[in-house]
Structure 1
Amino acid sequence: MSETRVFLLPDLGEGLTEAELVSWHVSVGDSISVDQPIAEVETAKSTVEVPSPYAGIVAELHGRPGETLDVGKPLISVVEPVSSVEPVETKPVETSEPETEPVETELGDPLVEPLETKPVETKEAETYREEEKAGSGNVLIGYGTPGGHGVARRTRARKESVAVVEPEVSTSSTTEDDLTLLRTRVPGKLGAVISPLVRRMAREHGVDLGELPGSGEGGLIMRKDVEAAILPQTLQARPGNPAVVAPTPSNNVEAPEGGVDARTGLIISSRTPVKGVRKAVAANMARSRSEIPEATVWVDVDATALVELRQELKAGGSAPGLLAFIARFVTAGLRKYPELNTRIETASDGSQEIVSFDGINLGIAAQTDRGLVVPSVRSAEKLTARELDAEIRRLTDVARQGKGTPTQLGSGTFTLNNYGVFGVDGSAAIINHPEVAILGVGRIIDKPWVVNGELAVRKVTELTLTFDHRICDGGVAAGFLRLVADAIENPTSLLADI
């Protein structure tokens, strides 16, 4: 006799609802121990290793590398033998796997798309939940801590059960148009009409699926089949081409691998899913633009004195980077203008309040292979320029390795963005929600500058401050920007402690 335990993907912190499976560290049949890393997953915040709360033999891996898994869904099934002399019986637990119907990918291969089903409660599943409550002692966020809070937190509402008929059509989600479209199929071939995406595309472009042969296995209608049928309509609709006759599936001419875009008529070269860090950045930036009435002010600054100061320090040994000096000036500015180091919170009744902080967590925008991330230097106002330089370098290195924790990547109160490294002078940056301001620094280049009434060549940069106009007016923003600019032009006034 043996018991099968199913480990659900835990909440990995900050309410994240999904994670991409990067790689498995174990295979089916492997013997694993408690807290042994079993998989590496990538969230919108970082890449982490997930340890197992159970010991035993791996019975099933619920996912393939590259797949996006929902929090609370099965990750791995582990068989725990009751006795070492008894054979291992890999009887899988009913893990409420949903009914599925194939969905076509960009390459024309069918995948599996779940229909909306209600998980079936089983004795084994209930036993698993009770065992999971006991905890493994592992300290990964979301599960395994002593005292029971081990069950993965539900982050999505349970969906209503549906009746499944032949063919597999969800009567609760299929529209009347979809049902009408399905009825046009020849009896016995209803299964050739696949995903709602294909049905919707056909309906929107007037393609009769009942007359459309499928290029997939067993006559399965793929996305490219519908796109190929749409192509003749697109060509004929162009001005000056009323008599164009384009190839159709009935001519046995295959459509391009990537399909044809219905709006532009161009061949689609590729499709890239928006996920991971890119998905999180997109959502955050869209929310920032939709919620924050932002305004931007900027100023050109003579950074010659700062550049010369750093060269002098470097000649005597080591010196902080220019960004660390500017970070030091920013913390001084935020202490004088604390309005820019706050956050707006909206209550359920619609009322708003400004939240102020006793301290500054300075976010440093860093470009990585995974996208733009913002690790933050905690209590930055307490650090010298040299200490800021060391911490900025450490955090950006961690972020570029994809090892930043949710706390490191999501705790900032103000962001400093050095886009000058990309060779540009200025940018109207988008505020990193829920912060209320972001300061951008352009490249430092030689420019003509008037010094004491005479024209000279100086090291000039541009500072750009984007701020939330709900928090303050232009006077506060300009005062902060001018303080930072003056410190760059006369750095010794604020760098007595370096």
Structure 2
Amino acid sequence: MTTATARVFRLPDLGEGLTEAGLVQWLVQVGDTIRTDQAIAEVETAKSVVELPSPFAGVITALHGEPGETIAVGAPVLEVADPDAAPAAPKIGGTADSRTDAAEASDIRQSVRSAGTPAEAEKEAYRAEERAGGSGNVLIGYGTSERAGSGRRRPRAVRQAPAAAPAQVSDAAAPASAPTTPTAAPRRVAVRSPLVRRLARDLGLDVHTIEATGADGAITRADVLRAAVDHAVDGAAVAASGTTTGTTSTADAAAAIDGLAVVARERMSPLRKAVSATLSRSRSEIPEATVWVDVDATRLWEVRAEMAGPDGKAPSLTALLARYTLLALAEYPLLAARLSEDTSEIVTFDGVNLGVAADTDRGLMVPVVPRAHELSIAELDGALREVAATARTGRMDPARLRGSTFTLNNYGSLGVDGSAAIINHPEVAILGVGRMIERPWVVDGTIVARRIVQLSLVFDHRVCDGGYAAGFLRRVTELIEHPLRAYPRV
């Protein structure tokens, strides 16, 4: 029989010199047969959530890491053996249930080898191993339900361990410490989110004891926090009854800071680390300055409907503001420039790659509309809607999150009027737009209600001075107050 030689797939550099990725979930399990380029896991990089394809085909013999953990570039991800070779004992890094099942498979193999021919015993051992560590095994948090539209995982029946052939062992040979009754297996629980599982572990809670209230029977973050509160209340009641000493244990002391209980410690995701690094570099390297102005956008609000295209759909306010910003940048190109790495040169460009700040569940992302200056308002509107929607799904191609030369941040959609934005390094400026709401405004000596919006421009003072930045802001203001002067191509 051929000996299985496992090939190890190590995490490659997923782009831009990233050094690590967070494991979101496995799409395969130990014992599955996979093909070349089949997606085997979802990983979170500093840019987005992407599927990780396997460069090998064969039978999976080991998975390294659990959802929620970080895998360094160059570290092993999974091991694959030739499907025609005898499989090695399956491994799943760090999964307690998998180790239990693997041990069970080993016991079954020893039992079946005690009866029948060696070939039959080996086949039965292989099948037992497949049942224990392969497709029937459930990674806690994900189950075996089919993922919608993926076609990668098939519904499978829950594994039932076969009855082992009775071994002929004399009473004298039987160990005195052998258990006389089997131990009940722990209750299977559904913890869909690795963050919820990590929260429970950080709080010292056993997920098997937490009551699930999720719509699909999953344990939610609220369930974990509720169990933590109940646990704390029970502990306080015990202390109040005098059944414990008045001292605080080392574990309890470590779970409190300045008298407040620590609810959770969550490792920063690759995205948050990337955002932190970029913004920290921006703050430390760029001598930024800010200018702002309140703008009467009443006319823009009124005539937007007149800019509807043949389909009768009016462009969004964000698209109009982006269009006016691009027109102003054509007159003030330094604000869409960059500094060279050694800061000795100002690099200007023929046009603008427009970055658009988007608030997503994963955090702040800045998808890019390349060569945005060439687009009509209708085209710009469609592009902005598409990149924002894709960014919010968390599955944007990393290539679409780099290359911007100027960023527009419409934080008015978040219900705020102003913000001291941070420049998106290596850019040199960012324009923020607040809410467009009715406010009292003086027109020809009379106080009237007008639609007012605050614009805030943050710029790198090394590239230009306040007069240049103010000129750009005045141009954008003029286009907003007199929108038809821009003669937008719809």
State the TM-score bracket (shorter-chain normalisation): 0.5 to 0.7
1:335 maps to which residue? 330
Cα distance in 1 between the residues matched to 2:338 and 2:279: 16
- 8 Å contact kept, 2:440–2:448: yes
1:318 maps to which residue? 313
Q: Any idea what SS the aligned residue of 1:372 has?
A: strand
1:79 maps to which residue? 81
1:148 maps to which residue? none
1:296 maps to which residue? 290
Q: How does 1:175-214 map to 2 (within 5 A)?
A: none
Cα distance in 1 between the residues matched to 2:338 and 2:421: 18
| TM-score, normalization by structure 1 | 0.64
- 8 Å contact kept, 1:258–1:270: no
Residue 468 (structure 1) aligned with residue 463 (structure 2):
no
- Residues 255, 359 of structure 1: CA spacing in aligned structure 2 closer, same or farther, 3 A cutoff? same
- Residues 301, 63 of structure 1: CA spacing in aligned structure 2 closer, same or farther, 3 A cutoff? same
Residue 419 (structure 1) aligned with residue 411 (structure 2):
yes
1:406 Cα deviation (Å)?
1.7
Cα distance in 2 between the residues matched to 1:394 and 1:20: 26
- 8 Å contact kept, 1:259–1:267: no
Cα distance in 1 between the residues matched to 2:19 and 2:309: 51
1:268 Cα deviation (Å)?
1.9
Q: How does 1:447-486 map to 2 (within 5 A)?
A: 447-486=439-478
1:352 Cα deviation (Å)?
2.6
- 8 Å contact kept, 2:20–2:270: no
Q: Any idea what SS the aligned residue of 1:352 has?
A: coil
Cα distance in 2 between the residues matched to 1:374 and 1:384: 21
1:304 Cα deviation (Å)?
0.6
- 8 Å contact kept, 2:407–2:429: yes
1:253 Cα deviation (Å)?
5.1
- Residues 265, 381 of structure 1: CA spacing in aligned structure 2 closer, same or farther, 3 A cutoff? same
Letter aligned with residue 416 of structure 2: V
- Residues 57, 315 of structure 1: CA spacing in aligned structure 2 closer, same or farther, 3 A cutoff? closer
Q: How does 1:111-190 map to 2 (within 5 A)?
A: none
Cα distance in 2 between the residues matched to 1:286 and 1:407: 22
Cα distance in 1 between the residues matched to 2:377 and 2:309: 17
Cα distance in 1 between the residues matched to 2:429 and 2:352: 13
Counterpart selection for 1:62 from 48, 61, 64: 64
Counterpart selection for 2:273 from 238, 254, 279: 279
1:90 Cα deviation (Å)?
2.3
Residue 402 (structure 1) aligned with residue 404 (structure 2):
no
1:313 Cα deviation (Å)?
4.1
1:89 Cα deviation (Å)?
3.9
Cα distance in 2 between the residues matched to 1:17 and 1:355: 29
- 8 Å contact kept, 1:39–1:49: yes
- Residues 257, 411 of structure 1: CA spacing in aligned structure 2 closer, same or farther, 3 A cutoff? farther
- 8 Å contact kept, 2:30–2:90: no
- Residues 92, 270 of structure 1: CA spacing in aligned structure 2 closer, same or farther, 3 A cutoff? closer
- Residues 481, 70 of structure 1: CA spacing in aligned structure 2 closer, same or farther, 3 A cutoff? same
Letter aligned with residue 497 of structure 1: R
Cα distance in 2 between the residues matched to 1:256 and 1:90: 40
- 8 Å contact kept, 2:309–2:378: no
- 8 Å contact kept, 2:23–2:65: yes
- 8 Å contact kept, 2:61–2:87: no
Cα distance in 2 between the residues matched to 1:295 and 1:252: 54
Counterpart selection for 2:41 from 30, 39, 42: 39
- 8 Å contact kept, 2:295–2:480: yes
- 8 Å contact kept, 1:4–1:91: no
- Residues 252, 261 of structure 1: CA spacing in aligned structure 2 closer, same or farther, 3 A cutoff? closer
Counterpart selection for 1:21 from 3, 20, 23: 23
| Runs of 5+ consecutive residues of structure 1 not aligned to the other structure | 101-214, 216-246
1:432 maps to which residue? 424
Q: Any idea what SS the aligned residue of 2:261 has?
A: coil
- 8 Å contact kept, 1:4–1:92: no
- 8 Å contact kept, 1:360–1:378: yes
2:236 maps to which residue? none
Residue 491 (structure 1) aligned with residue 489 (structure 2):
no
Cα distance in 1 between the residues matched to 2:75 and 2:290: 44
1:370 Cα deviation (Å)?
0.4
1:455 Cα deviation (Å)?
2.7
| Runs of 5+ consecutive residues of structure 2 not aligned to the other structure | 95-203, 205-241
Cα distance in 2 between the residues matched to 1:383 and 1:68: 40
